[in-house]
Amino acid sequence: MTDNNLHKEQQIVDHLIGTFQNLSGKVKREKRVEVSIEKKQISSVLNYVKDHLGFVHFSHMSCVDWIEDGYFELVYILWSPKQKVQLLVKALVDRENPSVENVDMIWRQVNTYQREIREMYGIDFSGMKGAQDFILEDWDEIPPMRRDFITDEYVKEVYFERPGREDAKDVRETLVKRSGEEIPDFAKKYSRD
Amino acid sequence: MAFFDIKGLVTPFTALKQFGKAPHTVTYPYNKKETAERYRGLHFNDLEQCIGCGNCSTICMNEAIDMINIDGINGDKGDSGLRPRVDNGRCCWCALCVEVCPTGSLNLTKDYIYVTPDADSFLWTPGVSNPEGKDNISFYSDVDTSLSMFNRVPMPELDGKERIKSFAETMLYYTEEAAREEANRCISCGLCTEVCPDHMHIPEYINAIANAEDEDAIRIIYDNNPLGELCGKVCTRRCEDVCAMQVRGDAVAIRWLKEYAVGRAETADMLREIVNPDIQEPNGKKVGIIGAGPSGLTAAYYLALKGFDVTIYESNSYAGGMTMYGIPKYRLPMDSLNKQIDYMKSIGVKIEFNTHVGKDISFDDIYNQYDAVFVGIGFQKPYNMGIEGEDAIGAIPAVGLLFDVNNGKTPDVGNKVIVIGGGNVAIDGARVSRRLGAEVTIMYRRRVKDMPADWEEIEGAEHEGVEIMPQTIPVEIIKDENNKVKAIKYLRAEMVADDKGGRPRPVPIEGSETIMECTTVIGAIGQEADYSFLPEEYRNKIEINRGRMVVNDDMQTADSKIFAGGDAVNRTADAISAIADGFKAVKSIEKFLLK
Amino acid sequence: MMREKATTLYLGPQHPGITGNMMIKLKVEGDTVVKAETHVGYLHRGFEKLMERRNWLQSFTIVCRICVPEPDPNELNYSRAVEEIEGREVPERAQWIRTLMMELSRLASYLLWFGGQNGSAGLYTMPQWTVGDRDYILDLFEELTGGRVYHMYIWPGGVRRDLPEGFASRVLQTMDYLEKRLLQYDQLMFDNTVFQKRAQGIGWIDPAKAIEWGVVGPPLRGAGIKSDVRIDDPYLVYDKLDFEVPTQSGSDVWSRSLVRRAEFQQSINMVRQIIDKMPEGPVYNKIPNPMKWNIPAGDAYVKSESARGEFGYYVVSDGGNKPRRVHVKGPAYVHGVTLLENILQGANISDVSFIMNSLGTCPPEIER
């Protein structure tokens, strides 16, 4: 695999940068290209790459919750069977009132991916048809894949501990008690969790 | 294809020829299939080998392993006393616990059948529930495949032949990258903290270094040890002897990481800024401390932080006690010690140098002037060698030589030095003599492996060309007409096993007298305390047992106003024990004066 | 003339014709399906959320449970994604062993598929044969990894242990045995007129639209399109092996069965080549202390060709010691929902499970 032969990948990136405003992109390695766009361009970019650049195979669609920065990142992963290049299209969606346009008329199967993301993250795909529930049934907490849904707390609320394991001890605490050591509070975060 | 494809309709019937064949994956009569060599079945733990570090419990991603107390197993130094118990309802038999076990005691066996009508008996204590599992081990992890990192990051040091030309520091210590890599080896079990006399918070500061939080590491060290860099350079490191990693590999370099952390603050001001201690308001009580050794300095530091008015009386011109005057500069450079002491002075510790209690100021004055007194005088007086001719010129105690050298003098030891003794002081004397230009031979009564000195020091001495003669007993120093040392007469000894099961004793071999020419003989067979500063009435009050002051658990002597610590009190006689004594005394003094 | 009213039938979640646990809500008029709706959610274990709280090494023990018939592509993809983000080199011998695991796993999956496809048609002799033969491959796995179905053997940095003594000869023996059995399968299934008549013309996918609808794997190759991740985007050591990618043009259940049968033969050849060409060397590039192992920030989408199609893993790291996001896409994600709903329209009710099997639907990977 020659590294310096990234000609066709670079061509794709340059073409897209030239065609769309506010689009940034780069070549990650051989056969891997990535572009970042704004959310209002999603439909036009996806249509364009499907019709004109040969990215006809829709591989995957995913969502990442960047709660510290306040947005969701939608990632569309496409593959071009002719040129054998994989394209990642990334768009940021605001975390308060997330809403994106529906693109399942471009590829039919996107409907399934969107249904799951709507259920798991709470992003509204305006104009999408399809049953509400995909995986979860009778779910009335916040969308579970969001980072502020803490599985630990949910489990403690809903399920009960099976008895028999209450005599578990912590190794560090046992040693501390035996030796009379006193760990200062600011150091406790470095102890083993 | 035509609809009535006779061949296609008939061929499937060939399957009927399987009718009479015997089953091929299960044998009749039933013979249990041989399980594979690597099968991942139920757990087995060797209860003797297990040290209760809890690493299996941490890595288990199902939180299936608990550490519990088991009847008959009590924790001791290097063993927490807890043993793992597996919740078989949650375990997925991924064997990660086996891969990270540092001692290799936890393994998986070939058993996979566990049938019981009791639905609540899903808890399985490996080793206790299946003691016969030892013969059935199938999945194990040895030193090559284990995920524990057994090899220590090597520490660069100066070349042996080159470094005897000066008193430059021999160890070059860790760079930032090497320190982070070394800190990543630690599994944070905490077994080391129990054997450290001062109970330093070791996993916490190592994790701080691994997370690139060096300032937090310094603060954690200073929580109960104000001489962290000193310990980082010269501690006896009992912690590393029980580190979980040393069972099958190299211990984590706890001591050198401490040196790295405190070494990041290069000046006393930086130390002050980083530690930024909370100094309490003066509470009006005064404490006098005799001896600015590690125990005295530690007590002074923490008492000053708690608002006491502290003064230390030191008979020499520099603080540090044996660490300043007994440890050569190539192990502990002046600037390092001064930095730590300057920082202590900056928070309010007062030191009166060149003030010998008993001569320049009387003990009585101190006793009456202060609300409490802490005595940390150490063992400064060397024992006599006990052989004929030791009054010759040139027969000197090691502590005397080290004292002179550290004070800046360059004594003339001639070109051939004999050192008698096998402890750290003897090795220090030998290596210092090498740097003063002499050929050095160490004579020790027992074998090399019986020498109480640090193995690192012995190795360093050997690299520097010091000759070690084990099983050698000197009997006489031969003087010339000017009463100077000319030669030494010694006997060889053989080791005779002790009938009572103790250490073998050296027995001199009759007729093996040999004479070796030399210019200086250095004696390093031990020291004792100098109680001459203490007036008669106090000496009668305080109990002195075999040269050591007797204290209760609160470091108090029989006179409740006098506290004591350090070499003159404890049996282990190293720097960290002295620091621990000083730290303990602070709590007691606080209780005594402020209740 | 009275119009027949449509009845709603629920196929599943407990049904011998379904490959797993999912429910298909069918609206039938007489014998013909008018509308189909897939309902999943019976096997949702929340793996992706679980992995957010476990560090990189602990997560690898979870991923193999996402797909039951073929757990190895999961382990492989997860490890490859982590290695790509971190830039970790994998030793040569480990790559070959991984390829061996993948091909053996493909054989095991195909054997299970032979059973399932025929079981849904009523020919129950095949499942009995193939599940028994699959046991031989599971024995090989047990010897190599210590577990029969869930191996937890391929982890980031290489594989866990080296091949045991005599393993290579046992693999070759098993391959010889399977090759002989393939001829017996031919006699029972592929040369069987009843099966042929049953399978031809059923479950047709339009080849012109196949790629656009997201069809992957044997259904795509059964539609005449030569597409295989192993040659389009080579990974492991597939570029050093000599194999063909078979295609058929019928685009119905019969074509897909022929494609799978041809691939079965190809896999046996590949296993033989791997055993022959495997180099010596270490098998593991050790990771640092697992509790403190941080992966630099980045993301990667890796895919591999499992027995049922393109299996994809999208892994995102934020520089910490736990994954930020692991998103698994199995081939059944498209085949089992939108594609199935589409091609079941107009199908006969007894063909529903037949078509499902030919697409290789596996519900656990739809809902993880």
Per-residue pLDDT of chain B (595 residues; tens, 9 = 90+): 455 677 777 777 777 777 777 777 677 777 777 788 888 888 888 888 888 888 888 888 888 898 888 888 887 787 888 888 888 888 888 888 888 888 888 888 888 888 888 877 888 888 888 878 777 788 888 877 788 778 888 887 777 777 777 777 777 778 888 888 888 888 888 888 888 888 888 888 888 888 888 888 888 888 888 888 888 888 888 888 888 888 888 888 888 888 888 888 888 888 888 888 888 888 888 888 888 888 888 888 888 888 888 888 888 888 888 888 778 888 888 888 888 888 888 888 888 888 888 788 888 888 888 888 888 888 877 777 777 777 777 788 888 888 888 777 788 878 888 888 888 888 888 888 888 888 888 888 888 888 888 888 888 888 888 888 888 888 888 887 877 878 888 888 887 777 776 677 777 777 778 888 888 888 888 777 777 777 777 777 777 777 788 888 888 887 788 888 888 888 887 888 888 888 888 888 888 887 6
- Strand A71-80 and strand A57-66: pairing? antiparallel
The yes-or-no verdict on residue C166 having pLDDT over 70 is yes
Alpha carbon C202 to its chain's center: 22
Return the pLDDT at B453: 82
Of B525 and C2, the structure prediction assigns the larger pLDDT to: B525
DSSP symbols for C280-304: PS--B---S-GGG----SEEEEEEE
Residue C17 to residues B511, C3, C107, C141, C188, Cα–Cα distance (Å): 99, 30, 22, 28, 20
d(CA C174, CA C100) in angstroms, rounded, equals: 13
Q: What is the pLDDT of residues A68-117, one digit of tens each?
A: 888 899 999 998 888 888 989 999 988 888 888 888 888 888 888 888 88
Q: Measured between CB atoms, does C226 come within 8 Å of chain B?
A: no
Report helix, strand or coil for A167: coil
Verify that A156 and A106 share a domain, yes or no.
no
Q: How many other CB atoms are there within 10 angstroms of residue B546's CB atom?
A: 6
Domain CATH for A128: 3.30.460.80
Residue A85 belongs to some domain of the structure: yes
Judge whether A140 lies within some domain. no
Assess whether pLDDT exceeds 70 at residue C4.
no
Cross-chain residue pair C334–A144, CB shorter than 8 Å: no
What is the distance between the alpha carbons of residues B495 and B504, in angstroms, rounded to a whole number?
6
Residues A78 and A110 placed together within one structural domain of the fold: yes
CB contact under 8 A, A171 and B53: yes
Distance from CA of B365 to the nearest CA of C (A): 57
Query: Between chains, do B193 and A179 touch, taking CB under 8 Å as contact?
Result: yes
CB within 8 Å: B80 and A174: yes
Q: A147 CA to chain B: closest CA distance, Å?
A: 20
Q: Which residues have CB under 8 Å from C30's CB, separation 6+?
A: C4
Q: How far is A182 from chain C (nearest CA, A)?
A: 25
Q: Looking at the complex, does the CB of residue A160 fall below 8 Å from at least one CB of chain B?
A: no
Architecture of the structural domain at C7-367: Orthogonal Bundle (1.10)
Phi, then psi, of B100 in degrees rounded to 5: -105, 0
From the list B3, B25, B36, the residue facing C143 with the nearest CB is B36
Burial of B132 (0-12, 13-18, 19+ CB in 10 A): exposed
Contact C197 B11 (CB under 8 A): no
Question: Shortest Cα distance from A97 to chain C (angstroms)?
Answer: 22
Note the pLDDT of residue B525.
80
Q: Please give the helix or strand (H or E) that residue A61 lies within, else none.
A: strand A57-66
Question: What is the ipTM for the molecules in this complex?
Answer: 0.89
Task: Give the whole-number percent of chain A exceeding pLDDT 90.
Answer: 4
Do both A95 and A7 map to the same domain? yes
* Cβ atoms of A147 and A65 closer than 8 Å: yes
Chain-centroid distance of CA B452 in Å reads 14
Residues contacting B280, CB < 8 A, separation 6+ = B305, B306, B307
Task: For the beta carbon of residue B13, count every other beta carbon within 10 angstroms.
Answer: 11
Q: Which residues of C touch A147 (CB under 8 A)?
A: 52
**Subunits touching C (CB < 8 Å, at least 3 pairs)?**
A, B
Quick one: A94 and A130 in the same domain?
yes
Q: Is the same domain home to A112 and A187? A: no
pTM: 0.88
Say yes or no: A128 and A159 in one domain.
Answer: no
Give the minimum alpha-carbon distance from A64 to chain C in angstroms, rounded to a whole number.
6
Chain A: residue whose CA lies nearest to B222: A184
Q: How distant is the Cα of A15 from the closest Cα of chain C, in angstroms?
A: 23
Q: Give the span between the Cα atoms of B421 and B452, in whole angstroms.
A: 10
Among B415, B406, B460, CA closest to B433: B415
Sheet containing strand A24-29, strands side by side: A24-29, A32-37, A85-94, A71-80, A57-66
Residues 6+ apart with CB under 8 A from C351: C202, C203
**Chain B residues within 8 A of A193 when measuring between CB atoms:** 58
Overall domain count for chain A: 2
At residue C314 the predicted structure's pLDDT band, cuts being 50, 70 and 90, is very high
C194 and chain B in contact, CB less than 8 A: yes
pLDDT in tens, B200-231: 888 888 888 888 888 888 888 888 888 888 88
Whether residue A24 is found in the same domain as residue A58: yes
Between A and C, how many residue pairs show a Cβ–Cβ distance under 8 A? 82
Q: Which domain holds residue A159?
A: 150-193
* Whether the bond into A143 is cis, omega within 30 of 0: no
Alpha-carbon distance C56 to C292, whole Å? 10
The rounded distance, in Å, linking the Cα atoms of B277 and B343 is 11
Looking at residue A187, what DSSP letter applies? G
User: What is the enclosing helix (H) or strand (E) of A14?
Assistant: helix A7-19
3-state secondary structure of C111: helix
* Cross-chain CB nearest to A183 (options B82, B194, B204): B204
Chain B neighbours (≥3 Cβ pairs under 8 A) are A, C
Assign A1 a pLDDT band (cuts: 50, 70, 90). very low
Closest residue to A107, CB basis, from C46, C214, C301: C214
Give the residue among A172, A180, A177, C291 at the shortest CA–CA distance from B191. A172
Tens of pLDDT, residue by residue over A114-157, are: 888 888 888 888 888 767 778 888 888 888 888 888 888 888 88
Contact state of B223 with A167 under an 8 Å Cβ cutoff: no
Q: Where are the domains of chain C?
A: 7-367
Which residues in chain B are closer than 8 Å to A170, comparing Cβ atoms?
54, 67
Probe site for chain C from A47, A135, A141, A193 (most C CB atoms < 10 A) = A135
How far apart are alpha carbons B396 and B522 in whole angstroms?
Answer: 5
User: Do the strands B514-517 and B485-496 form a parallel or antiparallel pair, or are they unpaired?
Assistant: antiparallel
Distance of CA A101 to CAs A16, A50, A93, A125, Å?
A: 21, 17, 11, 5
Which tokens hold the place of A155? 């489990």
What is the secondary structure of A122-165 as a DSSP string?
A: --EEET--S-S-SS-SS--SS-TTSTT--HHHHHHHHS-PPTT-
Query: Are the beta carbons of B67 and A169 separated by less than 8 Å?
Result: yes
- The CA distance from C201 to the nearest CA of chain B, in Å, is 13
Q: What are phi and psi of B128, to 5 degrees?
A: -95, -40
Q: Which of A112, A137, A144 is facing C49, going by the closest CB pair? A: A144
**Contact between residue C65 and residue C152 where contact means Cβ atoms under 8 Å apart:** no
Instruction: Report phi then psi at C63, rounded to 5.
Output: -65, -25
